[in-house]
Homo-oligomer: A and B are copies of this chain.
């Protein structure tokens, strides 16, 4: 088992500790803060709960986490040392001197600094300098993959590659920053938005909440998948990145930019950006990129919808405003919709598991129809599915419209039995059937019991109608 030393705890050091431990590394921590064990423990608890949720395979055996009184002790046997002490150069320097004096000759050292360049950190460290790089992560470190790996001219290709390999092995994306620069890359972008946002608040144009909404309901959803340039490449349409720059370059000289220095839109700059964009995304047509963008937006927004958060909360509210009561037909048409992209596998076919969801959604509609709706559940009563048998009869694809027709085949006392037929809308081919048996339960006792009289009456009437 590999060993990592974490020097400096807090939110960032704790995040590193959690990621390494959950990826099977033994973790040795040094932090002079007497509260550090409690603070790191809280970060570890968050990480333990969520990092394994990202993976559909068994996780490595979690490493041990130990706390040590000195840097000398913490770095013993470490393959990687991660420094996350406060951003003061003198403190960083004394910390690295102590690491250099005690660490093994093959260990690599990463600094979480956002403020210093690697060459500033490498001063007076002898042979350690070549093995020390900036490895700047993003909070929460245990979930976000980005880590900016910034070497200087003192680092060899061999050490840089070894660092990348370790970071990849713990599930991160090392972005090799090829030039030393204050704040690296991502923080420069963040800093520019932070500045502009501060002006907007100070000048009374917008509140913090309005600014957050302007991000999370709009371009934030684009950036989670494509970032800046690929998004603009798509916006430029078939004419491509040069067209986009011709159209939007001049905006930079509009009044709102008067406070800032802006690079001239020379042909050289346009060619440089268009060329890099071609290298990045030129394998895909704009039409293909639009499809990717839209599929990803659907998947992201549906993920937020399932969480009831941000743009997903808006969707739920809007959907509720569109909801209509079921028409009183025999059978009941309990679903009428299309297969969304997040229900499909890599081939675009609807996943086996999603059929269960379709029929679960269908029975939920039927429940609402007989009065066992959300309010009924909130009041402590519900139907739980006890058994389902699904027959898979034909494949279906993302975007295909389908309906579910539902018959009540039994509705007596605490028992309901339903038979669902799922059909492709285009040709009425049966895609799947489901025989579903449910029991009425008390949510308090968690045991089966008869439904309330009004629900029992509506169920009986429905069962009678479906029998006739």
Contact string against B for A residues 215-240, beta-carbon threshold 8 Å, 1 for contact and 0 otherwise: 11111111111111110000101000
Q: How far is the CA of A57 from the CA of B353 in the complex (A)?
A: 20
Q: Tell me, in angstroms, the Cα distance from A201 to B299 when the chains sit together.
A: 31
A376 at the interface (CB under 8 A from B): no
What string of 1s and 0s marks CB contacts (under 8 Å) between A58-99 and chain B? 111000000000000000000000000000000000000000
User: Provided the pairs A217-B173, A314-B171 are in contact, do residues A298 and B235 lie with their beta carbons within 8 angstroms?
Assistant: no
| Residue in B closest to A433 when the chains form the complex, CB atoms | B387
Whether A355 and B352, one on each chain, are in contact in the complex, defined by CB atoms closer than 8 angstroms, is no
B212 A227 Cβ-Cβ under 8 A: yes
One of A104-112, A122-130, A143-151, A454-462 contacting the partner: A143-151
Q: Flag if A257 contacts B195 (CB, 8 Å).
A: yes
Q: Which of A215, A295, A296, A391 has the most CB of B within 10 A?
A: A215
A6 to B386, CA, bound (A): 52
Pairwise interchain contact A389-B387, C-beta atoms closer than 8 A: yes
Contact B340 A54 (CB under 8 A): yes
A11 to B231, CA, bound (A): 14
Q: Quick one: closest B residue to A435, CB to CB? A: B389
Q: Which residues of B contact A190 (CB under 8 A)?
A: 219
In the assembled complex, the Cα of A144 lies from the Cα of B296 at a distance in Å of 12
Indicate if the CB atoms of B273 and A195 lie closer than 8 Å.
Answer: no
Q: What are 7 sample pairs from A and B whose C-beta atoms fall under 8 A apart?
A: A115-B254, A144-B221, A146-B214, A179-B203, A185-B200, A219-B223, A220-B224
Which B residues touch A259, using CB under 8 A? 260-261
Query: Within the complex, which residue of B212, B300, B358 is in contact with A226, where a contact is CB–CB below 8 Å?
Result: B212
Are B306 and A299 touching (Cβ within 8 A)? yes
Enumerate A390-417 residues with CB–CB distance to B below 8 Å.
Answer: 390-392, 398-399
B280 touches A208 (CB 8 A): yes
Sorted nearest first, the 5 A-B pairs with minimum C-beta distance are A353-B357, A212-B227, A356-B356, A146-B218, A53-B340
Query: By the criterion CB–CB under 8 Å, are A205 and B185 in contact?
Result: yes
CA distance A56 to B115 in the complex (A): 47
Min CB–CB distance A288 → chain B (angstroms): 12
Cβ of A328 to closest chain B Cβ, rounded Å: 16
CB nearest to A339 among chain B residues: B53
Mark the stretch among A25-33, A152-160, A316-324 that contacts chain B: A316-324
User: Does residue A263 face the partner (Cβ distance < 8 Å to B)?
Assistant: yes
A213 on the interface (CB 8 Å rule)?
yes
Interface assignment of A166: CB less than 8 Å from any CB of chain B: no
Contact call A337/B273, Cβ cutoff below 8 A: no
Q: Is the CB of A54 within 8 A of B302?
A: yes
A283 within 8 Å of B (CB atoms): no
Q: Is the CB–CB distance between B185 and A211 below 8 Å? A: yes
Say whether A171 contacts B205, CB under 8 Å: no
CB closest chain-B residue, reference A309:
B296
Contact of A354 among B138, B171, B353, B388 (CB under 8 A): B353
**Counting chain B CB atoms within 10 Å of each CB, which of A50, A183, A302 scores highest?**
A50
Interface residues as binary, A264-278 with B (CB distance below 8 Å gives 1, 0 otherwise):
000001001100110
A319 to B171, CA, bound (A): 8
Q: Which residues of B contact A218 (CB under 8 A)?
A: 138, 144-146, 186
Q: Tell me if A429 counts as interface (CB < 8 A to partner B).
A: no
* Nearest chain B CB to A135 CB, angstrom units: 13
Most chain-B CB neighbours within 10 Å: which of A60, A145, A295?
A145
